[in-house]
Amino acid sequence: MNDKEVERQVETILGKLSLEEKIGQLNQVGGADFAPGPKAEDQIRKGGAGSVLWLNDTQRFNELQKIAVEESPSGIPLLFALDVIHGYRTIFPVPLAMASSWDPAVPEKSQTVAAKEARAAGLHWTFGPMIDIARDARWGRIVEGAGEDPYLGSAMAAAQVRGFQGRDPSDPERVLACAKHFAGYGASEGGRDYDPVYLPETQLRNTILPPFEAALKAGAATFMSAYMDLNDVPASGNRFLLRQVLRQEWGFEGFVVSDAFAVANMVIQGHARNRRDAALRGIKAGVNVDMSSYTYVENVAGLVADGLLTEAEIDELVRPILAIKVKMGLFEHPYTDETLLAQVVSRPEHRQASRWAAQRSMVLLRNEGGLLPLKKDLKKVAVIGPLADSMEATEGSWMVFGHTPAAVTVLAGLRAKLPAAQVTYAHGPEIRRDIPSWFETSMAGMERKPAQSPADAEAAFQAAIETARAADLVVMVLGETAEMAGEAASRASLDLPGRQEELLKAVAALGKPVVLVLLNGRPLSINWAAEHIPAILEAWEPGTEGGSAVADILFGDAVPGGKLPVCFPHKGSHAPLYYARNLTHSPEGSPMYNPRYWDGLPEPLYPFGYGLSYTTFEFSNLKLSSPQVKVGHSLTVSVDVTNTGSLAGDEVAQLYIHQQWGSDTRPMRELKGFERLTLQPGETKTVNFKLGPDELRYWSTNAGQWIQEAAEFDIWVGSDSQAALHTNFEVVA
């Protein structure tokens, strides 16, 4: 359908709506028991709802849709929305893991499958991708994003949007994407979830906003305004973000939904005087949809009657919602076939895609003495740790509402890989959050289990050691449980929680070969392990086929090739820590160099971009198409990558730049290109990167705008953010 036809239909529909029905389109009702407000069906019947969230039941979707279409005065179909973050029924690696693939095909394919399953269940709209840049690993929601870097983050954001939405909004196997949380949420002070964010425009524009602009360019139909204060203005009442940047500068034509209750929360934040004032501020800022705080339905008609808002302002917010419903074909096909989901989720290619995505997402952190890949003739293997047989930890945080984890755990994956071996298992002492999550206790209504007694923990500890003692090789599966990362899951420390490190040390002291597999949703300060455990695989929260993928990698049926999308600090107190910092006045590495802390260098334990394979690589022949380029023009950087080992393997060629001087100071390194390669032993491939105005411009504080300058640039190309292969070029006026 062309734009003119959509517009015509929207105007026809809009012309028939009462003011109350228009406001209804701006109201998103909660379909779950914990959601406040009147019963969903009553609101829908009155025409007081445009969309529904926190419901995951196809039959119920159809019932509510029937009320909307057949009983409400306007007959406008509802949009059903839910958080489908990394899979609907077939669960994929968490987004931080997908970003570790450094292969945009991974998130694109994963979200394509997620969209198929979610749509088959009757959902139209996911609250993803989450594309907040996060440089503080203490922040729990780092798991949902692509890590610390705007360039990598932009590639992952666009790929996810393409996966969810495809090209055509009427595609019945796709869902609408929602770029969230706009904007700055990942920079909360101290990494404390929901805390205020202070970001100067240079950081906002150069670091935080690029993934959002990339999502928009990839076609993201919707955006979600964030919860927190950005520079003292709540993001959901923030005209600078929602009007100036998103609509005026970027030309966004879709619609914005607030985060849950965020419009009303502006009262709690001390911004709005009362709920009526909050509604006014939300509308004025351009928040189209009020996510379940009911401030719009309660107040907007009165605000129009009192002349504080015009009906034209309401129409402007309703139009893009109607346009999307028209484009999706919802008016023609409002219902979902209730037999469809079962057929779609049983497609074997979905599980295969999940296993492939998990293999590509894992990062090999250490492999001393070539312990990995393991040989399949092992006789006795002990698998130890609180996460070794946990489906929850394997699927990870942000499960779809109401989903029951059903993953292949690491234990199950290893048993399947070694049918003839004796694979024993011990859990070890339990790990748990000191303070429970609201999501566990209130939302899921789960009773919290009493903590394990110290005596039981000790017995579990000893049992684990005995299990390890009887084996030839030990696989330790440690990290964080699913509820230790995610929303409201920030931590002050990045150590392995509970007695895990103590257990690791005790098992290592037995003198057997030990492989450490980490399941976690954030960087962890595994300092001791990084020195003493020969093989460490960062498996993240790898999804439904996670355990199979771990076994594939450990035994060489798949090669590791993921790279860290975020650096691993030595200590939680080093956060925020990231590679793209500015230089100081004191030369790095010189005797004058200020180590910044006298009790330990804040160098990362593992740098951004780091990861090993089972072979070695060499970068050589770094060449530029020209040593000089004019402002506004492009040059090509080429480099040869050779597999110098004896096994096939994957490497990610990474290009970093540094502008040596200019209007503003620029980061000492910035990623501006990457490509993941598979190389056979002895094979060489040439990688070409383009550097042009898009890569070389930046938002300047001094100039108050985007600029590209004549200056000298450094280039490094290599296997991580500490790459040494270097050259220079000059941009001339």
Choose among 733, 708, 702, 610: nearest CA to 657: 708
Give dist(CA 515, CA 452) in Å, integer.
Answer: 27
Shortest Å, Cβ 83 to ligand NOJ: 5
Residues 222-251, interacting with ligand NOJ (CB under 6 A): none
Given the complex with ligand NOJ, which of 157 and 260 has the nearer CB atom? 260
Shortest Å, Cβ 487 to ligand NOJ: 6
Question: E strands within 289-442?
Answer: 290-291, 363-367, 380-384, 422-426
Given the complex with ligand NOJ, which of 180 and 327 has the nearer CB atom? 180
Given the complex with ligand NOJ, which of 185 and 656 has the nearer CB atom? 185
Residue 457's SS3 state is helix
Residue 676's SS3 state is strand
Shortest Å, Cβ 257 to ligand NOJ: 9
Query: Interface with ligand NOJ includes 193 (CB under 6 A)?
Result: no
Shortest Å, Cβ 109 to ligand NOJ: 23
Query: Interface with ligand NOJ includes 290 (CB under 6 A)?
Result: no
**184-208 residues labelled b (16+ CB within 10 A) or e (exposed):** bbbbbeebebbebbebeeebbbbbb
**Binding residues for ligand NOJ, total number by CB under 6 A:** 6
Residue 232 a catalytic site member: no
Given the complex with ligand NOJ, which of 111 and 615 has the nearer CB atom? 111
Given the complex with ligand NOJ, which of 145 and 543 has the nearer CB atom? 145
**286-303 residues labelled b (16+ CB within 10 A) or e (exposed):** bbbbbbbbbbbbbbbbeb
Among 47, 55, 83, 143, binds ligand NOJ (CB under 6 A): 83
Query: Interface with ligand NOJ includes 127 (CB under 6 A)?
Result: yes
Q: Tell me, what amino acid is at 725? A: L
Strands of the sheet with 363-367, listed across from one edge: 363-367, 535-538, 514-519, 473-479, 380-384, 422-426
Shortest Å, Cβ 126 to ligand NOJ: 9
Per-residue binding letters, 134-173, with ligand NOJ (x by CB under 6 A)? ----------------------------------------
How many C-beta atoms surround the C-beta of residue 126 within 10 A? 27
Shortest Å, Cβ 52 to ligand NOJ: 12
Given the complex with ligand NOJ, which of 259 and 695 has the nearer CB atom? 259
Give dist(CA 536, CA 539) in Å, integer.
Answer: 9
Given the complex with ligand NOJ, which of 30 and 607 has the nearer CB atom? 30
Output DSSP code: residue 504: H
Which of 259, 290, 650, 720 is catalytic? The answer is 259
Among 180, 360, 427, 522, binds ligand NOJ (CB under 6 A): 180
Sign of CA dihedral 283, 284, 286, 292: negative
Q: Tell me, what amino acid is at 602? A: P
Query: Interface with ligand NOJ includes 699 (CB under 6 A)?
Result: no
Choose among 221, 119, 139, 240: nearest CA to 180: 221
Choose among 410, 408, 417, 504: nearest CA to 464: 504
Owner of token pair 């230089």:
583
Among 229, 290, 487, 552, binds ligand NOJ (CB under 6 A): 487
Owner of token pair 């600078």:
240
Query: Interface with ligand NOJ includes 259 (CB under 6 A)?
Result: yes
Nearest residue to ligand NOJ by CB is: 127
Residues 537-596, interacting with ligand NOJ (CB under 6 A): none
Shortest Å, Cβ 203 to ligand NOJ: 21
Shortest Å, Cβ 260 to ligand NOJ: 4
CB 697 within 8 A of CB 657: no
Given the complex with ligand NOJ, which of 487 and 538 has the nearer CB atom? 487
Query: Interface with ligand NOJ includes 260 (CB under 6 A)?
Result: yes
18 φ/ψ angles, rounded to the nearest 5 degrees: -75, 165
Longest CA pairwise span in the chain (Å): 80
CA atoms lying within 13 Å on the CB side of residue 552: 22
Binding residues vs ligand NOJ (CB under 6 A): 83, 127, 180, 259-260, 487
Q: What amino acid positions are annotated as catalytic residues?
A: 259
